[in-house]
Amino acid sequence: MEYDKTINKENIKKFKAHDIFFDTENKKFKCVLCKRKVAISDSSSITGYFLICNTCTYEKFGNYAEARKWQKQEMDEFMKKEVYRDTDSVIIEEGK
């Protein structure tokens, strides 16, 4: 499945940088599939990687387990390419 690679990088960076567990309702992330703004409590990701909203989880995958499978597959590919190193150079613009 195609996903937005730029949004993915931004999510990873934000996930690392913010107190996400104390601020779960703010829509500071974006779904890598539909690009809508989403709060951490209404999404799932692998520590910020391949973050998808709950709507996409059910509309595109049918259930959480299938969505998780996709995230893990993409994660494997991602780590193989070692593109995760690029995430350190992502600049976060607050409020977008």
CB-nearer residue toward Zn ion: 40 or 53: 53
Q: Is 34 in the site for Zn ion (CB under 5 A)?
A: yes
Q: Does 33 bind Zn ion (CB under 5 A)?
A: yes
Q: Which of 12, 31, 51, 67 binds Zn ion (CB under 5 A)?
A: 31
Query: What is the DSSP secondary-structure string of 51-75?
Result: EEEHHHHHHHSSSHHHHHHHHHHHH
Nearer of residues 20 and 43 to Zn ion, judged by Cβ: 43
Residue 66 φ then ψ, to 5°:
-70, -40
Give the whole-angstrom CA distance, residue 53 versus residue 88.
24
Q: Which of residues 54-93 bind Zn ion (CB under 5 A)?
A: 56
What single letter denotes the amino acid at residue 19?
Answer: D
Q: Which residues bind Zn ion (CB under 5 A)?
A: 31, 33-34, 53, 56
